[in-house]
């Protein structure tokens, strides 16, 4: 059970109204709280944006943002190693496709681990996603590995 828990990575998502300066404000709050961002992506729609981030201390980041009236959600995602060359991501997505796993979104870490790139993945069913990846011997990084990057 605890093995499994470690394989899921915590991600924070922040609601951003489509107004000038909101992204800047969120970043400002995080830097004031000395939160280090390891990976981020922004999904934008015409009305709003969702800022998703992997930070070294999600609980602290959530508290800092909420104190400044941001709406924050914490949920679980998977950090996966892929070969850092053309075709690396292709292989990963192939495995998930074969196993009929729906990918909601995906973005990359800035850091890498030796010759491997790290990718953040959100599957519709997180447990099924982990199972499918492990069945194909794809390396899933746990929270500790990520923090050491």
Partner 1 sequence: MIYNEKAECMSAPEKEELQLRRLQDVVKRAYENVPYYRKKLEAAGITPADIRTLEDIEKIPFTTKSDLRDAYPFGMFAVSTDDIVEVHTTSGTTGKPTVSGYTAKDLDIWGEVVARALSMAGATRKDIVQNCYGYGLFTGGLGVHHGGQKVGCTVIPISAGNTQRQIEIIQDFKSTILTCTPSYAMYIAEVLEREGIPPEDIKLKAGVFGAEMWTEEMRNEIERRLNLDALNIYGLTEIIGPGVANECMEKNGLHIFDDHFYPEIIDPQTLKTLPEGEKGELVLTTLTREGMPVLRFRTRDITALRKGECGCGRTHVKMDRITGRSDDMLKIRGVIVFPSQIERALLKIPGMEPNYQIIATRPEHLDELEVQVEASPALFSDEVKHVEQVTRSIEKQIHDEIGLRVTVSLVEPQSLPRSEGKAVRVIDKRDMS
Binding site for partner 1 (CB under 8 A): 11, 13, 15-17, 19, 22, 43, 45, 47-48, 50, 52, 69-73, 75, 104-105, 122
Q: Are strands 48-55 and 72-83 parallel, antiparallel or unpaired?
A: unpaired
As measured in angstroms, the least distance from the Cβ of 13 to partner 1 is: 4
Q: Is 84 or 125 the residue whose CB approaches partner 1 more closely? A: 125
- 6 or 105: CB nearest partner 1: 105
List C-alpha distances in Å: 69 to 37, 41, 47, 48, 74.
20, 21, 18, 16, 16
Residue 4, Cβ density class (10 Å: 0-12 exposed, 13-18 middle, ≥19 buried): exposed
**Which is closer to partner 1, CB of 44 or CB of 115?**
44
The helix/strand count (H/E) of the chain reads as 6, 7
Nearer Cβ to partner 1, position 49 or 88? 49
Minimum CB–partner distance for residue 78 and partner 1 (Å): 13
């Amino acid at each position: 059970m605890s093995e499994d828990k470690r394989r899921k990575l915590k991600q924070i998502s922040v609601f951003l109204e489509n107004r000038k300066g909101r992204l800047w404000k969120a970043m400002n709050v995080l830097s004031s709280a000395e939160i280090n961002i390891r990976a981020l992506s922004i999904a934008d729609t015409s009305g709003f944006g969702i800022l998703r981030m992997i930070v070294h201390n999600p609980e602290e980041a959530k508290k800092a943002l909420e104190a400044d009236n941001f709406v924050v959600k914490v949920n679980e995602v998977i950090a996966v190693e892929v070969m850092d060359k053309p075709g690396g991501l292709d292989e990963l997505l192939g495995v998930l496709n074969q196993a009929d796993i729906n990918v909601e979104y995906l973005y990359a870490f800035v850091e890498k681990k030796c010759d491997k790139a790290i990718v953040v993945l959100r599957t519709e069913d997180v447990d099924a996603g982990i199972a499918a990846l492990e069945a194909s011997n794809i390396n899933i990084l746990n929270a500790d590995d990520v923090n050491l990057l």
